[in-house]
Amino acid sequence: MKKVLVFLMMAIMACSMMLTGCGGSKEEKKAEPAKVLRVGTEPAFAPFEFPKEGSKELTGFDIELVQAIGKQMGAKVEISGMGFDALIPALNAGNIDVAIAGMTITEERKKAVSFSDPYYTSGLIIMVKKDNTAVKSIDDFKGKRIAAQIGTTGEMKSRSVEGAKVTTFNTQDEAALELKNGGVDAVIGDLPVMEYYLAKGGSQFAMTVGEKMEAEQYGIAAKKGSKLVEDINKAMAELKKNGEFDKIYKKWFGEAK
Ligand code: ARG
C-alpha cells in the first residue's frame, strides 16, 4: 500500500514538472517533432516493391501507396527491407510500425497482427517451364517439386499439394530461377507478380498454367490492436476519395480500380 502511495506521489510530481516545463501558454509550445512512420517490406516483389533501376531507392505500387498514406497522415515515411518472414516478428518486436509487402490478409496472420482495410485483390497462380504442356491444374502436381517464397501463401498452397516436395526461397525471383535451372517443376506465387515477371522477360522460359487460385486481399499490417490501423484506413479512404489511389493504381496496373 505504501509503495503504491509513493508511486502515485512521484507520478503527480512528474506530471506537474512536465506541465510547468511546457510553459502553459500556446505561443511557447514547441512544434511537435515530425511523426515518423517506420515501414517494413520485402523489396524483391515487383511491381509492388522493388529497387529502382540502378539505385537502392524502392519503388512500386505498395511503396507509392504507403508514401501517399504517410503524407496524408503528416508523417515521414522510412522504409526498411527485410525477409518476408521477418516482417511479422519485426512488427511484434516494435522495430517497425507497419508492413506493406503485398501481404495477404489471412485468418492465421490476423491472430498475430492487425490489418488495414484491403487495398488490392490478388490470387495465386502456378508457373512452369514453357515447354511443360502436360500440366493443366494444381492436381497435376501431386508428388512433384514445387518452389515458393518462404512464409508466403504460395508456400502454404504448395504444401497442400499431396506428396509435393516443396523448396522455399527468400525471394520470388530465386524461386523462379530454380524453375529456370530445372531444380523444380513449378513455382506457386502471387499472380500479379508472376505476370510482371513474365512480361519483363521471364516468358522466354516460363508461363503460367491454370486459373488464378484463391482470391486474396492485400492489407497493411500493424502490431496487433494498434491504433495506427484506424489512421491508415482513414488516410487510405481519403486517397480513394481524392483520386490519388486510382492514380497510383493506374500507374502500376494500367486501369482504374
Ligand atoms: N501475398 C503473399 C503472402 O502474403 C506473398 C507476399 C510476398 N511479398 C513480398 N514482398 N515478398 O503470403
Report pLDDT for 113: 98
pLDDT of residue 42: 98
CA of 75 to the centre of ligand 1 (A): 25
190 lines ligand 1 (CB under 6 A): yes
Specify the ligand 1 atom closest to the Cα of 109: 4
- Give the pLDDT score at 6: 57
Residue 196 to residue 122: CA distance in whole angstroms: 13
153 lines ligand 1 (CB under 6 A): yes
> Does the CB atom of residue 84 touch ligand 1 within 6 A?
yes
Look at residues 73, 92, 89, 179 and name the one whose alpha carbon lies nearest to residue 131: 179
- Expressed in angstroms and rounded, the spacing between residue 135 Cα and the centre of ligand 1 is 25
pLDDT at 30: 59
What pLDDT sits at residue 115? 98
Q: Specify the pLDDT at position 214.
A: 79
Residue 230 Cα, ligand 1 centroid: separation in angstroms? 23
Determine the distance separating the centroid of ligand 1 and the alpha carbon of 134, expressed in angstroms.
28
pLDDT at 8: 57
Low-confidence ranges of the chain (pLDDT < 50): 15, 19-28
**pTM of the full structure:** 0.86
What is the CA(179)–ligand 1 centre distance, in A? Answer: 19
The CB of 208 under 6 Å from ligand 1? The reply is: no
* Cα 3 to middle of ligand 1, angstroms: 50
Beta strands in 113-220 (DSSP E): 113-115, 120-129, 145-149, 165-169, 186-190, 206-218
Q: Using a 6 Å cutoff on CB, does residue 59 contact ligand 1? A: no
Kindly report, residue by residue over 52-67, the tens digit of the pLDDT: 999 999 999 999 999 9
Atom number in ligand 1 closest to CA 106: 4
CA–CA–CA angle 160, 165, 170 (5° rounding):
90
Can you give the pLDDT at residue 32? Answer: 60
114, exposed or middle or buried, with CB in 10 Å at 0-12, 13-18, 19+?
A: buried
**8 Å CB contact between 125 and 212:** yes
